[in-house]
Amino acid sequence: MTTVNRESTHPGTPVRKLKMGMIGIGVGGTEMLPAMEAMEELDLIAGADPNPTTLERFKARYGARTYTSAEALCQDPDVEAVWVSSPNRFHAEHAILAANNGKHVVVEKPMAVSLQEAEQMIEAADRNGVKLLAGHTRSFTMPVRAMRKIIQSGKLGRVRAIHLFAYTDWMLRPRSADELDINQGGGLPYRQAPHQLDTVRLLGGGQLRSLRGTTGQWMPERTIPGYYSAHMEFEDGTPASVMHDGYGYFIGAELVKWGHSNQRYTPEQRVDVRKQILNGTRNEEEDKQAIRIGGDWERKVFQRENEASWVPEDLGVVVVSCDRGVMRHSEHGIYVYDNDGVHDIVLEPNRHMGTAQRRAELEELYDSVVHGKPLWHDGRWGMATLEATLAIGESSRLRKEVILSHQIPVPAGYDDDFQVPGYL
């Protein structure tokens, strides 16, 4: 069993605070707050949201400035960088607004709802000389990075296939009206496919050639797709596939021996929620507010999702096949199966590696803005992932393969600072 630990990259130096603002303090924004709280290099000084209860709770917790509009927050001269977690249809508008006001930007997935919007976001960031980071979360995590490092080492030979599959309760979670509008929220493909596709692209080198996808909308009470699957091929011919079933009858964490049948809900709670949805008695807004900042379920939900042991959640199970071995997640890192047997590589991060799933995105932004390091997951990388995301729906509608044209390779030097001692 090998343990990976990464020490501070700037020991003994004064901490330079990056002053952050958040646009959209909903569920996505709330999920980010523990990572922001844990990172001493950040100072969360402002938040914008149209919900007065959310703003009151945000101000009470952080003593931060609050605004009812993104425009007002972006005009705050003290805000240096903005986390955009507003509804999907506003991602481009708010990112461009922030960039035009000289703010660096991290945008939640999906980056935008069209490639044209993504291009406009990139242009705005370039024109204003600010950083634009596509925050797709799971590809930033240590297990995925360790798999990528081992692939790059050549120890297992070439990657031959990459497969991801997830079973979650995503469709049972409370949804606002805009989320249930396919033209605004996009359903499971828009909200969860970027996690899987970004990971596939990172592990396979970035440059997908084509995609054949299918979406499934099986629950009449939920007017958005709750299922998707896609088969892809990289430019070098390597196959990859992703699949996510978010209807909550079966939970993927049950597939590992240390797993469980809970995700956002216990099995009993899933039965109750499903019945409420079916008979039209569920109070979506009340349940939604309960997991926003200060809600009764906030800490409980996000503590459960950041538990010490890895289990298949929204990313799902990742299996990478190579010439001379296979890799997948383990409870505390990754398993590597090679010609010498099975290796359980424990990944033990400290604060500079990101113990929470979301912290790595913040660290990449901070290191790029403050220390001039490369921004790996920039707007062009995000647009390539968005292209594959949108292609799932397009392919499903047309029932044919979609050829991709906005793909880019993983940037040179991406893996230079990442080590897997004891195996490499």
pLDDT given at position 184: 82
Per-residue model confidence (pLDDT) at position 295: 85
Q: Which residues contact 239 (CB under 8 A, 6 or more apart)?
A: 161, 162, 231, 232, 233
Span 224-254, pLDDT tens digits: 999 999 999 999 999 999 999 999 999 999 9
pLDDT at 289: 87
Bigger pLDDT: 92 vs 6: 92
Q: Tokens for 369, please give them.
A: 């803005």
Domains 2-136+356-375 and 139-350+380-403 share a fold: no
pLDDT tens by residue, 124-166: 999 999 999 999 878 889 999 999 999 999 999 999 999 999 9
Q: Structure tokens of 226?
A: 């709750």
The confidence score (pLDDT) of residue 120 equals 98
* Predicted pLDDT at 349: 58
Better-scored residue on pLDDT, 173 or 309: 173
Predicted confidence at residue 303, as pLDDT, reads 56
- What are φ and ψ of residue 5, in 5° steps? -135, 140
Q: What is the predicted pLDDT for the residue at 13?
A: 66
H helical segments located in 254-408: 267-279, 284-290, 298-305, 359-371, 379-398
| pLDDT per position as a tens digit, 10-35 | 555 678 999 999 999 988 888 888 88
Q: Which residues of 64-79 are buried (b: 16+ CB within 10 A; e: fewer)?
A: bbbbeebeebbebeeb
Rounded CA-CA distance 114/155 in Å is 39
Write down the pLDDT at residue 150.
97
Taking 80 as the threshold, does the pLDDT of residue 274 lie above it? yes
Q: Is 294 exposed, middle or buried (0-12, 13-18, 19+ CB in 10 A)?
A: middle
Q: Does domain 2-136+356-375 have CATH number 3.40.50.720?
A: yes
139-350+380-403 maps to CATH 3.30.360.10: yes
Q: What is the pLDDT of residues 326-382, one digit of tens each?
A: 999 999 999 999 999 999 999 875 443 434 467 889 999 999 999 999 999 999 999
Sheet containing 104-108: order of strands: 65-67, 42-48, 18-23, 81-84, 104-108, 132-135
Q: What is the mean pLDDT of the chain?
A: 91
Quote the pLDDT of residue 136: 82
Domain segments of the chain as ranges: 2-136+356-375, 139-350+380-403
**pLDDT in the model for residue 358:** 73
